[in-house]
Amino acid sequence: MAFEDFEPIFGEPKVEWAAHSSCPLRPFLFHATAPDSSHIVVCVTDFHSDTWEARLSVSFLEDIRDIIGIGGSWAEFVEYFVTSLKSEDLKLVLEANSNSDGVSHAKLVAQKSKGMPLITIPLTKLLDSAVNEAMSNLSLNLFRAFKNITCSLVKEQERSVWLTNMIAAEKAKNETLQTEYQKFQKISDSEKAGVSTNGLKKSPDKQAARDTKVKNRVVPVHRRTKVRGALLHGSDDAES
């Protein structure tokens, strides 16, 4: 039931009158924090004339749990409570003072979502030095939360830049490997084509030897032309 891990909550509740009133409404800021492991302090202020507070003990939250009828474990109830306080529908309901223009009562009404049980937190108005202390704590805690968020954002940006550079380096490396692979593939294809062409070509030495062999081939006797003789005629016989 401890609240050691309770993170501060900030917000701007929707302000409304419990009954019709002609008094103008100022915007309020809301702050919830855990000063120790057994309490949650809720503060609401307009930084002007109204500052309200509620100190919620574990026993008080257990009573709220029983009233609204939320079952399950204590951790589940705390999760529901925190989510309700973070809701955009968180309301600050004010009751006007019938004798003056001030506010007589105030309460926070939180709901996780429409249709879910309502959590009502009655508030006590702070006076004198307690007002200054509450506003001081809210301002200081708000600054610390802003500082933490800024530091986290800077770290995320640095990590994003680092990841971007890593991705760019890996991309350049992959492009280089792809280029080298394409060069190797072209050389391999060229060598394969050369081997195939040389296999089809005839060796010049073998071709010359073959031509010489053809020229020196002896014609077989049975294929030679037989010349029986030649008939010679003289010029006189020709004239006669």
Residue 84: count of CB within 10 angstroms of its CB: 22
Q: How confident is the model at residue 240 (pLDDT cuts 50, 70, 90)?
A: very low
Mean pLDDT, to the nearest integer, of 150-176?
90
Q: What percent of the chain has pLDDT over 90?
A: 35
Kindly list the domain boundaries of the chain, sorted by start residue. Answer: 9-126
Residues comprising the chain, all counted: 240
Edge-first strand order for the sheet with 103-111 is: 9-11, 29-36, 39-45, 51-57, 118-125, 103-111, 91-96, 14-17
CATH fold for domain 9-126: Dna Repair Protein Xrcc4; Chain: A, domain 1 (2.170.210)
Could you list the beta-strand ranges (E) of 37-99: 39-45, 51-57, 91-96
pLDDT at 164 exceeding the cut of 80: yes
Q: What percent of the chain has pLDDT over 70?
A: 79
- What does the pLDDT read at residue 51? 94
- What does the pLDDT read at residue 232? 46
pLDDT at 114 exceeding the cut of 60: yes
Q: How confident is the model at residue 42 (pLDDT cuts 50, 70, 90)?
A: very high
Q: Alpha carbon of 176 to those of 5, 83, 184: distances in Å?
A: 50, 52, 12
pTM confidence score: 0.63
- What does the pLDDT read at residue 125? 93
Q: How far apart are CA 74 and CA 56, in angstroms?
A: 15
Q: How far apart are CA 124 and CA 107, in angstroms?
A: 9
Burial class (CB in 10 A: 0-12, 13-18, 19+), 58: middle
Q: Please provide the average confidence, as pLDDT, over all residues in the chain.
A: 82
